[in-house]
Amino acid sequence: MINLILLPILIPLFMGIILIFFHKKIILQRIFSLLSTSTCIIVALFMIDKIKNAGIQTVNLSNWDAPFGITIVSDMVSALLVLTTNIIAFCCILYSFKGIDSERENYFYYSMIQFLLVGVIGAFSTGDIFNLFVFFEVMLMASYVLLVLGNTKIQLRETVKYIIINVVASALFVIAVAYLYSVVGTLNMAFISERISGLGDTGILTVIAVLFLIVFGLKGAIFPLFFWLPGSYNAAPIPILALFGALLTKVGVYSIARTYSLFFYEDSYVFALLGTLALITIILGAIGSIAYNDVKKIIIYNIVTAIGVILFGFSTFNTASLTGAIFYLIHDMIIKGALFLLIGIIIYITGTSNLKSMSGLIKRYPLLAWTFFIAALGLAGIPPLSGFVGKLLIIQGAFEESNYIGGFIIVLSSLLVLLSVIKIFVKAFWGDESDNVTKKPIKTLLFPGCILVLLSFLIGIGVEMLLPYISLAAESLLQPENYIHAVLKE
């Protein structure tokens, strides 16, 4: 019998292979893609319940016990991220029925989404540092294809940049893993943690920690390594942009959180470095979001801001900040997916992403306007939406460590984030109707965005129900001995 925690990886893997053989039968591809993500959502819910009642779940492949074999691990952090990933993928696939052109759909579009999910979910679930690299590469290869589909000039140019950056990051990843293996003699993440705890304070571990920060910082878009993100993501069609913006950078964030909490939790220097870089990331992301009049770039720079907020919460590394960081990570995945899908509708209606060329949309599209307004408030962390609790806990954690500057920067960034998205709301929806606004059917396109905005609202008002699960996730990072015990059965 296949272990439950393997299904979120195996289902999209086999579905992606099956869809290759039906790449001309679009209706079948759509149905099978939704069926795949729906099944994974149900499986993830069962996983979360099992982890809550029975603790961290593991499976050793090929009957090789850890640390000698490959281990898949599902704790509350990974299970919550697997659930969120599949919800976002479901909504992006649903949006693609009308939001992606037939030329792209016919070229293995849905297969590549499934393979992308294999990489993302595999990265969230692996207990082996080298297989983290493998799942990264699966994710990246699928993203290369999705980014270049359509063959436009801007896509080709930005895909070349994207590939070069990620090839460099992947090479550094292998080097970092090799250095780590030379020190500890194992690739199992739990056993690495156990071995490192017995080494004491060595300079080589700090070097390896910084090297991992460079690798995952490139993939997660932390300062000064986010330079590639605005251009590359801006080139992608909306449903692909929503997938990338909600998921890909979060894999880098998760990788920093997992490796630092397991390997380098005693190294105060690397946590201080991470916190400093995170605050600079917040500032530059917020400045970028208010500097542009392009709706896509405004939300893309808000990705950068959110990455900084999450990593700052993690770098503080106490119960409040870790709980807030995980809560905010899940919130940001959902709300970014919603916002990208909603601005996609605005671009579809007006034929442009330039705010200066659109206005008056609220007269013909009031539901779109108010859905976007709620999503904008959620992004900025206005109560009772989902972003508020996460930010509040991160700020509380910062104040507990007497880091008042960090807390103040997060509060200030919230105001700038709110300003950036309210600018879209005011300029695009209010005023006289611009000439390029036409009446178009948008119900099918709007539905997926509404699902995600509603989910954000429900998370915000249902925070007391969710907090026990988020607290378990934070405990998994804060107390690595629980993870080690579950994997090594000690």
Q: Taking 50 as the threshold, does the pLDDT of residue 1 lie above it?
A: no
Q: Does position 490 have pLDDT exceeding 70, yes or no?
A: no
Residue listed under structure tokens 């934070």: 474
Q: pLDDT band for 105, please (50, 70, 90 cuts).
A: confident
The SS3 of residue 67 is: coil
Q: Which two tokens stand for residue 85?
A: 């990933």
Please report the pLDDT score of residue 335 as a whole number.
93
Cβ proximity of 191 and 488 under 8 Å: yes
> What percent of the chain is modeled with pLDDT above 70?
99
* CA nearest neighbour of 334 among 422, 414, 454, 463: 454
Structure pTM? 0.92
Beta bridge partners of 60: 71
Per-residue pLDDT, 22: 84
Grouping H, G, I as helix, E, B as strand and the rest as coil, residue 375 is helix
The answer to which of 187-196, 390-399, 447-456 has the lowest mean pLDDT is: 187-196
Quick one: how far is CA 203 from the chain centroid? 32
Structurally, the chain folds into a number of domains equal to: 1
Alpha helix ranges (H) inside 185-228: 189-197, 203-220
Instruction: State how far the Cα of 434 lies from the Cα of 79, in Å rounded to an integer.
Output: 46
Q: Is the pLDDT of residue 329 over 90?
A: yes
Tens-digit pLDDT profile for residues 277-317: 999 999 999 998 898 888 889 999 999 999 999 999 999 98
Q: Which residues, 6 or more positions from 234, have their beta carbon under 8 angstroms from its beta carbon?
A: 154, 158, 241, 294, 296, 297, 300
Structural domain that includes position 91? 2-486
**The total number of residues written for the chain in this structure:** 490
- Looking at residue 284, what is its pLDDT? 92
Instruction: Kindly report, residue by residue over 334-366, the tens digit of the pLDDT.
Output: 999 999 999 999 988 888 888 888 888 888 888
Structure tokens at 361: 């949309």
Query: Residue 196: what pLDDT?
Result: 84
Q: Is the pLDDT of residue 87 over 70?
A: yes
List, for residues 143-187, the tens digit of each pLDDT value: 888 888 777 777 788 888 888 888 888 899 999 899 888 888 888
The residue whose two tokens read 């090789």 is 64
Residues forming beta bridges with residue 126, ordered by sequence position:
72
Contact between 186 and 192 under an 8 Å Cβ cutoff? The reply is yes
